[in-house]
């Protein structure tokens, strides 16, 4: 039975039809009887598309594995089961003056999901991706063995599992190093920019001076306003709160409206209001960490506002030297197609390498666009965005994706065969079947013909 609780965030792909509890999956794997492509871990479904789905088999509900096992308040190393949410890690460590070194735009992701996608935050320029802060983890494979993995121990499994999108086995538990911070609060500065040229002038210096930097673009603005936006920078406040209020929005969208609420007139009004509201706080001010890092977590199930067809997110990263033409080209394509993006985010990735075999962040600029699913028109636009991205040597993010073609994936991750070689045969995702397996089949056909 398809279960709503096992959807992915974009709601544009079918939810899992078969679910197995973590304990049963552990027993199955330990017995050595798991069949090919039977399993895929499901963290908290905050991936946008089908990288957390497995049409060919079952998804493993990892959320019940949610105990924090130990925390060293001197070093900030925390060990927890893979289904623990980042929100729980934050709540646990905050009173001791620690915070995850990397957090994505929602705290409702599991530890296992953050490792498996090697997620990034607003401080990639300073701290790299999540994988840079993983000390070790235990990985259960279909050979029935639990492998202890770190940079020194089973290093090949360590590298392949970080950013390995769940394909190398079940991460059972992990230890990560947290960042010592003076408080959770952030001293935030909001700098309006008139166009993308101005943003590119500001971006590098903003990264150098701040722990966190990210820009919001008013994607619907035309004429003189084209490319305008707000640059948010921030650093942890010396004096501020050490308490993470219990996670959970005060507002929630209780049911799915029958149509997309985030339509163009709404977005134009929203963008104008957002700019007006945020534009006034050009002088630094101290804000709570929830609003700074996780603004959308305040409204539960906000993805439902896109209506029954859901949304597609497109995240591209393009090399720094071509960003000044590629980013405007991506925005122009969306505008030409008449598709409004609810949140358009632009940020610079720095040069810090991840230990991962495959990882999305790489030096350059990353642009994220959200579109309501309008069927063929949206898919055509997304293909155009893919094309612009790979043509300049960039990459499209697989865990935000629900439809990219195999060639776009191969161009984005030329090393994909190294992950396929180490993939656990019992694990498969709909994403991998749609991209890497298709490439393999094509390769097999060519080899057979030769
Ligand atoms: C509002 C919002 C904002 C976001 N902002 C960002 C951002 O700023 N930066 C960013 O990088 N991402 C961002 N994301 C995406 C999100 O951070 C990632 O998709 C994250 O990996 C989801 O984690 P999850 O626990 O929900 O895992 P799922 O989405 O359920 O699964 C993700 C992957 O991890 C694998 N996996 C899960 N648990 C395990 C396990 N125990 N062992 C092995 N594999 C496992 C799954 O098989 C799957 O391949 C955002 C998502 C949302 C909804």
pLDDT at 65 over 80: yes
pLDDT for res 276: 57
pLDDT for res 258: 62
pLDDT for res 155: 98
**129 pLDDT tier (thresholds 50, 70, 90):** very high
Query: Is residue 44 within 6 Å of ligand 1 at its C-beta?
Result: yes
pLDDT in tens, 389-424: 999 999 999 999 999 999 999 999 999 999 999 999
**Atom number, ligand 1, closest to the C-alpha of residue 9:** 53
HSE at residue 396, side-chain half, CA atoms within 13 A, is 30
Say how many C-beta atoms besides its own lie within 10 A of residue 157's C-beta.
22
What distance in angstroms lies between residue 431's CA and the mean position of ligand 1's atoms?
14
pLDDT for res 313: 96
Minimum CA distance residue for ligand 1 atom 47: 166
pLDDT at 248 over 60: no
Query: Is residue 104 within 6 Å of ligand 1 at its C-beta?
Result: yes
pLDDT in tens, 254-300: 666 666 666 666 667 667 666 655 555 568 999 999 999 998 888 88
Query: Is residue 26 within 6 Å of ligand 1 at its C-beta?
Result: no
CB 346 within 8 A of CB 327: yes
In terms of Cβ atoms closer than 10 Å to its own Cβ (0-12, 13-18, 19+), residue 258 is exposed
Q: What is the mean pLDDT of residues 327-352?
A: 93
pLDDT for res 342: 80
Among 25-39, 123-137, 330-344, whose mean pLDDT is lowest? 330-344
Residue to mutate, 63, 87, 115, 117, ligand 1, most ligand atoms under 8 Å from C-beta? 117
What distance in angstroms lies between residue 115's CA and the mean position of ligand 1's atoms?
8
pLDDT for res 219: 86
Cβ-count burial 63-85 (b if 16+ within 10 Å, e if not): bebbebeebeeeebbbbbbbbbb
Minimum CA distance residue for ligand 1 atom 34: 113
pLDDT at 54 over 60: yes
pLDDT at 182 over 60: yes
Query: Is residue 113 within 6 Å of ligand 1 at its C-beta?
Result: yes
Residue to mutate, 25, 38, 61, 110, ligand 1, most ligand atoms under 8 Å from C-beta? 110
What distance in angstroms lies between residue 94's CA and the mean position of ligand 1's atoms?
22
Residue to mutate, 44, 52, 262, ligand 1, most ligand atoms under 8 Å from C-beta? 52
Residue whose C-alpha is closest to residue 240's, from 162, 183, 291: 183
Of the two residues 282 and 333, the one the predictor is more confident about is 333
What does the block give as tokens for 93?
């460590």
> CA dist 356 to 40, 94, 147, 167, 395, Å?
19, 27, 17, 13, 16
Minimum CA distance residue for ligand 1 atom 9: 104
pLDDT in tens, 108-118: 999 999 999 99
Query: Is residue 37 within 6 Å of ligand 1 at its C-beta?
Result: no
Query: Is residue 184 within 6 Å of ligand 1 at its C-beta?
Result: no
């Amino acid at each position: 039975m398809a279960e709503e609780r096992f959807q992915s965030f974009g709601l544009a792909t079918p939810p899992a039809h078969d679910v197995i509890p973590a304990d049963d999956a552990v027993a199955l794997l330990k017995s050595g009887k798991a069949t090919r492509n039977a399993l895929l871990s499901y963290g908290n479904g905050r991936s946008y598309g089908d990288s957390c789905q497995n049409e060919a088999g079952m998804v493993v509900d990892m959320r019940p594995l949610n105990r924090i096992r130990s925390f060293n308040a001197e070093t900030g190393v925390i060990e927890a089961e893979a289904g623990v949410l980042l929100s729980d890690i934050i709540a646990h460590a905050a009173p001791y003056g620690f915070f995850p070194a990397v957090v994505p735009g929602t705290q409702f992701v599991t530890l296992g999901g953050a490792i498996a996608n090697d997620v990034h935050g607003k401080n990639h320029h300073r701290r790299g991706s999540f994988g840079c802060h993983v000390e070790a983890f235990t990985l259960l494979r279909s050979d029935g063995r639990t492998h202890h993995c770190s940079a020194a121990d089973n290093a090949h499994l360590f590298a392949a599992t970080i950013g390995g999108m769940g394909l190398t086995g079940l991460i059972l538990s992990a230890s990560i190093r947290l960042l010592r911070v003076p408080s959770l609060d952030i001293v935030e500065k909001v700098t309006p920019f008139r166009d993308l040229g101005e943003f590119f002038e500001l971006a590098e210096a903003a990264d150098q001076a701040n722990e966190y930097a990210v820009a919001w673009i008013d994607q619907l603005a035309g004429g003189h306003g084209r490319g305008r936006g707000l640059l948010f920078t921030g650093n942890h406040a010396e004096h501020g709160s050490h308490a993470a209020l219990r996670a959970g929005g005060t507002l929630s969208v209780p049911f799915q409206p029958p149509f997309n609420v985030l339509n163009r007139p709404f977005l134009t009004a929203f963008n104008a209001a957002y700019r007006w509201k945020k534009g006034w706080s050009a002088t630094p001010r101290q804000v709570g960490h929830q609003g700074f890092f996780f603004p959308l977590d305040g409204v539960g199930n906000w993805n439902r506002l896109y209506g029954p067809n859901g949304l597609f997110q497109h995240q591209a990263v393009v090399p720094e030297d071509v960003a000044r033409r590629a980013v405007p080209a991506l925005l122009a394509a969306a505008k030409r197609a008449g598709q409004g993006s609810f949140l358009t985010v632009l940020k610079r990735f720095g040069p810090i390498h991840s230990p991962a075999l495959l990882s999305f962040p790489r030096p350059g600029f990353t642009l994220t666009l959200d579109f309501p699913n309008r069927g063929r028109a949206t898919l055509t636009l997304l293909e155009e965005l893919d094309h612009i991205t790979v043509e300049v040597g960039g990459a499209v993010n697989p865990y935000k994706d629900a439809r990219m073609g195999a060639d776009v994936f191969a161009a984005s991750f030329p090393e994909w065969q190294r992950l396929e070689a180490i993939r656990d045969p019992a694990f498969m995702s709909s994403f991998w079947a749609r991209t890497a397996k298709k490439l393999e089949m094509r390769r097999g056909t060519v080899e057979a013909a030769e």
